[in-house]
Amino acid sequence: MPSTLELRGEARSLGLRPRIGLGIHAALLTALVAGFVLLAPPSRWDDPLTLVVLVVLGVIAIHTEVRLPAGISFEALSALALIATALAGALPALLVTVTPIVVKALAGRERLFRAGNLANLVAYGGYALAGAVVLDAATVDPTAPEAFGWLLIVGLIQLLLNWALGPALYVTLWLGHPPRTVLDILRDGVPTGAVMVLLGAGTVLLTPALGVVALALFAAIALLPQSFLTYAARTRPVALLDRETATRRYAHALAVQLNFTRAQRRHLLEVAAAARRRPATGEPIDYVLATLRDCGSANVSAQLLPEWWNGHGGPIGLRGDSIPMDARVLAVAATWASLTARGTPQLGHHAALADMRSAAGARLDPLVVEAARNVIAQERVSVAEPAPEPRLHQLHVPARLRRAIAAG
């Protein structure tokens, strides 16, 4: 579910709807202060080590959050809030969720005093208080096995309150998005949120026996994959790569899209290496000499790179599917690299795709060019970075997750 909400379009003048949103959140914050004073069960501060570990994990969770479609982010803060609520109470849970925002502001990643953080404070405080009240009313030990069902109920209540008190108001009133966007946030956030609730509830039950080791297991299951996604989502411009390296990266990404097996991808790299050692000229005599010296399949395919899909290329005028697939893939990869890598025009991916599409059906295989389009759709192409290297394909991120990260 949403964590720290970004204030997009903050430069706009404060209109009526944002004023209403700020007023509602300010009133809710006032009510929450009264709720903590009058309703919150006593908090437990007798295990400072566990609390410190939860706070540290919260900072890591926010630092490595991954933006997904509809404005949500993949992070583990909701599960940490559930754990803190069950083990220590409402105020410690609020501390665990608010501290990462303060740290983020001190690190210069965002301003502390902004409307988005007011929405966050209301959402975090609301679900910490509600969770503590429900668990107190259940009159069960939160760490006992029979409390598992209650922990799941509390976790789901916290997810819904986080959505209702935070983005449901903030996204519609301050950012001006239609109500459909808020429903998209809920729909897209529930699967990830439910998984985090399960992990959080399981960690609570393991804590009496394992102590902070239970939190270490939680971190290994929830935070390490999240950190990997953050690492995968970082972009690096292809313009920093030389043409040969860029060609290999593109060739690998195209092979992933074309469902090459591991053996086929390995052979594709061998063809690329052969082409680097003995570049193809497209001349028949050069083809004969090169293949006489090395008649291996990798070198033969490498010498056929100049062939055209329509049969008008060289060195022997192959046409269509008679051209080895490796040669067709590398032809597109090399063309792509010649438009985007270091020392080239350094076009963005979309401009390079337009150029490749103009050659599809003549020089290039249309199927491979379409695979290039799919590669671009599943990488983090943006206005700030119009030609990132195909990192998500290089790291073998699953297709559905590639699409989600690219849309984030």
Those residues of the chain that have pLDDT short of 70 are: 1-14, 64-75, 188, 225-233, 408
Shared domain check, 157 and 30: yes
Shared domain check, 217 and 204: yes
Shared domain check, 212 and 73: yes
Domain that holds residue 180: 16-233
Residue 10 confidence (pLDDT): 42
Instruction: Tell whether 10 is covered by a domain.
Output: no
Please state, in angstroms and rounded to a whole number, the distance separating the CA atoms of residues 372 and 50.
Answer: 49
Residue 341 confidence (pLDDT): 96
Shared domain check, 379 and 290: yes
Instruction: Tell whether 71 is covered by a domain.
Output: yes
Does the reported pTM lie above 0.95? no
Instruction: Tell whether 57 is covered by a domain.
Output: yes
Shared domain check, 286 and 194: no
CATH code for the domain of 256: 1.10.3210.10
CATH code for the domain of 136: 1.10.1760.20
Shared domain check, 244 and 184: no
Using the 3D structure, point to which of 233, 258, 291 is the last residue of a domain: 233
- Count of CB atoms situated within 10 Å of the CB of 152: 16
Instruction: Tell whether 9 is covered by a domain.
Output: no
Instruction: Tell whether 168 is covered by a domain.
Output: yes
Bridge partners (DSSP) listed for residue 364: 360
Q: What is the pLDDT of residues 174-183, one digit of tens each?
A: 777 788 877 8
Number of domains in the chain: 2
Shared domain check, 157 and 139: yes
Shared domain check, 123 and 215: yes
Instruction: Tell whether 38 is covered by a domain.
Output: yes
Shared domain check, 86 and 216: yes
Shared domain check, 203 and 179: yes
Shared domain check, 344 and 219: no
Shared domain check, 203 and 245: no
Instruction: Tell whether 2 is covered by a domain.
Output: no
Residue 66 confidence (pLDDT): 55
Please state, in angstroms and rounded to a whole number, the distance separating the CA atoms of residues 55 and 158.
Answer: 18
Instruction: Tell whether 144 is covered by a domain.
Output: yes
Residue 205 confidence (pLDDT): 95
Using the 3D structure, point to which of 209, 233, 257 is the last residue of a domain: 233
Residue 120 confidence (pLDDT): 86
Q: What is the pLDDT of residues 320-349, one digit of tens each?
A: 999 999 999 999 999 999 999 999 999 999
Using the 3D structure, point to which of 233, 249, 284 is the last residue of a domain: 233
CB contact burial 193-212 (16+ within 10 A = b; e otherwise): beebbebbbbbbbbbeeeee
Print the SS3 string covering the chain.
CCCCCCCCCCCCCCCHHHHHHHHHHHHHHHHHHHHHHHCCCCCCCCCHHHHHHHHHHHHHHHHCCEECHHHCEECCHHHHHHHHHHHCCHHHHHHHHHHHHHHHHHCCCCCCCCHHHHHHHHHHHHHHHHHHHHHHHHCCCCCCHHHHHHHHHHHHHHHHHHHHHCHHHHHHHHCCCCHHHHHHHHHHHHHHHHHHHHHHHHHHHHHHHHCHHHHHHHHHHHHHHHHHHHHHHCCCEHHHCCHHHHHHHHHHHHHHHCCCCHHHHHHHHHHHHHHHHCCCCCCHHHHHHHHHHCCCHHHHHHCCCCCCCCCCCCCCCCCHHHCCHHHHHHHHHHHHHHHHCCCCCCCCHHHHHHHHHHHECCCECHHHHHHHHHHHHCCCCCCCCCCECCHHHHCCCCHHHHHHHHHC
